């Protein structure tokens, strides 16, 4: 591993940390919005004559708008995880470099 690779890894951490935070915020928002969407759909179902909470819940889960929220949530999780594993990979590259440099220092001292 050369210095350019390490600089690239550090740059990646710097530039993608904010993107990761934004992706995580989007995922969290959609997780919470999913609950609100379900509640609103259940309320509408009850207003439209559905008699039980269980039946209203079935209506909510089957609604196209709820399914769209789930698709959005899936995309948000994918984006977050892609960025997270990129950050983990960059951190691992830096740790490998650090270990290699420490080993090189030990070898240099032994050669003296």
**Would you kindly state where each structural domain of the chain is located, as residue ranges?**
3-107
Q: What is the pLDDT of residue 34?
A: 98
Averaged over 13-23, what is the pLDDT? 95
Report pTM: 0.78
pLDDT tens sequence across 52-99:
999 999 999 999 999 999 999 999 999 999 999 999 999 999 999 989
Averaged over 7-19, what is the pLDDT? 92
Contact 28, 95 (CB under 8 A): no
Give the residue among 4, 8, 20, 23 at the shortest CA–CA distance from 91: 8
DSSP 8-state code for residue 49: T
Contact 26, 72 (CB under 8 A): no
33 versus 104: which is more confidently predicted?
33
Cα separation, 83 vs 67, in Å, equals 25
Contact 17, 80 (CB under 8 A): no
Confidence of residue 1 (pLDDT cuts 50, 70, 90): low
């Amino acid at each position: 591993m050369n210095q350019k690779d390490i600089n690239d890894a550090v740059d990646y951490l710097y530039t993608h940390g904010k993107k990761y935070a934004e992706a995580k915020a989007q995922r969290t928002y959609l997780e919470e919005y999913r609950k609100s969407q379900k509640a609103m759909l259940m309320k509408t179902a009850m207003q439209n004559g559905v008699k039980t909470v269980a039946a209203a819940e079935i209506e909510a889960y089957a609604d196209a708008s709820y399914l769209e929220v789930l698709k959005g949530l899936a995309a948000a999780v994918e984006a977050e995880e892609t960025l997270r594993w990129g950050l983990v990979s960059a951190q691992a590259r830096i740790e490998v470099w650090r270990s290699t440099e420490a080993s090189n220092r030990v070898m240099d001292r032994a050669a003296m």
